[in-house]
């Protein structure tokens, strides 16, 4: 994938570039350029326009992630929290990148990894996270908490609420935090959060918090649930580097606040994004499924389900919504 990056770097301006120009630039034949462009399309999911007599282009252009721009959009006090900022053209998974490099990372500070493309992006419950090159935000933040591992439950909700509030500031309306780790708009998934935490039960812990946010996701056959992109919601899309910096800033702030206050500090915000209250749901857990009405989130971050007239709180599992017993998401 890295080998395509220079080619994408030229085509991302959205203008046509002739085969001759590209061949001269890379010291290759025109047919070798053509072959590379075909491979690039196949491997990245990007579509390249090819017009006889004009050349090749990425229609509409592509804004690549850029360190200077990202840092310029972050507030200074958030920049000060980050010891490492890594922007990769491709990696298997940004969460794995941080987990694998944890030993060499500075302790007691934040580290962030963003990638244009993930070849083995991970979702919750072993599902893949699929995304085309350069069109979305895939980022992971590694954060050291003073709280032990046992007190990190509820962190994904806190992060979800903070990201929802940040996206609202960018103009996204009707956002819902779907317990425990999704952001929805119009009952479709806009973003997902995957937290992988390590540490002893009575000592400081480290969490790698991964966020996948659809900005201009394109038809990707493998996604198994309804999804939506910011491009469908906002009339004018902000710069991708600005969106990435906005959500990253919100994640850093949420980590700091969560370490001090736990989930209690986010209950008010969660209430504001609790759009599914009263809906009929199924909560799937490892060995059972509970059917009932979703009644919100309790003050420990658990999900409250009203099943057969009895309210119960659960801390694990996954919710799907039902209409006439047909699963919709
Ligand atoms: C889910 O909704 O199931 C969670 C999706 C999390 C996807 C992000 S993309 C960046 C980070 N790296 C990964 O491999 N996964 C997370």
Q: What would the 3-class secondary structure string for 172-235 be?
A: CCCEEEECCCEEEECCEEEEEEEEEEEECCCCCEEEEEEEEECCCCCCCCCCCCCECCHHHHCC
- Please state the atom number of ligand 1 nearest to the C-alpha of residue 92: 14
Query: Would you please indicate which residues are annotated as catalytic (active-site) residues?
Result: 124, 189, 322
Cβ–ligand 1 distance for 91 under 6 Å, the answer no
Cβ–ligand 1 distance for 122 under 6 Å, the answer yes
Average pLDDT score over the chain: 92
- Helices and strands, number each (H, E), in the chain: 10, 15
- Please state the atom number of ligand 1 nearest to the C-alpha of residue 191: 2
Distance 138 CA to ligand 1 centre (A): 7
Structure tokens given for 102 = 């944890």
Nearest to 156 by CA among 318, 313, 301: 301
User: Quick one: pLDDT band at residue 170, thresholds 50, 70, 90?
Assistant: very high
In this structure, the residue with its CA closest to atom 11 of ligand 1 is 210
User: Quick one: pLDDT band at residue 203, thresholds 50, 70, 90?
Assistant: confident
Structure tokens given for 180 = 């425990």
Measured CA distances, 272 to 59, 227, 256, 297, 307 (Å): 38, 22, 21, 12, 24
Query: pTM of the full predicted structure?
Result: 0.93
At residue 214, the pLDDT reads: 96
């Amino acid at each position: 994938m890295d080998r395509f990056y220079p080619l994408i770097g030229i085509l991302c301006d959205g203008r046509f570039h002739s085969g001759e120009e590209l061949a001269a630039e890379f010291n290759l034949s025109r047919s070798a350029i053509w072959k590379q462009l075909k491979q690039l399309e196949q491997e990245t999911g990007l579509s390249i326009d090819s017009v006889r007599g004009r050349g090749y282009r990425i229609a509409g252009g592509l804004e690549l992630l850029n360190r200077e721009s990202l840092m310029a959009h972050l507030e200074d006090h958030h920049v000060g929290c980050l010891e490492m900022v890594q922007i990769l053209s491709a990696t298997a998974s940004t969460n794995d990148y941080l987990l694998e490099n944890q030993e060499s990372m500075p302790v007691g500070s934040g580290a962030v990894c963003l990638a244009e493309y993930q070849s083995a992006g991970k979702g919750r419950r072993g599902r893949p996270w699929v995304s085309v090159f350069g069109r979305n935000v895939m980022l992971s933040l590694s954060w050291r908490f003073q709280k032990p591992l046992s007190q990190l439950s509820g962190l994904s909700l806190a992060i979800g609420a903070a990201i929802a509030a940040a996206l609202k500031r960018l103009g996204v309306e009707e956002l819902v935090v779907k317990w425990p780790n999704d952001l929805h708009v119009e009952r479709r998934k806009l973003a997902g959060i995957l937290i992988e935490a390590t540490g002893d039960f009575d000592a400081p812990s480290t969490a790698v918090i991964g966020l996948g946010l659809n900005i201009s996701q394109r038809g990707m056959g493998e996604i198994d649930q309804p999804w939506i992109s910011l491009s469908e919601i906002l009339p004018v899309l902000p710069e991708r580097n600005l969106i990435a910096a906005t959500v990253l800033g919100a994640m850093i702030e949420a980590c700091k606040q969560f370490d001090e206050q736990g989930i209690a500090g986010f209950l008010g915000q969660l209430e504001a994004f609790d759009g599914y209250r009263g809906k009929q749901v199924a909560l799937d857990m490892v060995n059972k499924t509970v059917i009932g009405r979703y009644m919100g989130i309790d003050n420990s971050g658990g999900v409250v389900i009203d099943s057969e007239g009895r309210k119960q709180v659960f801390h694990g599992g996954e919710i799907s919504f039902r209409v006439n017993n047909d699963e919709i998401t």
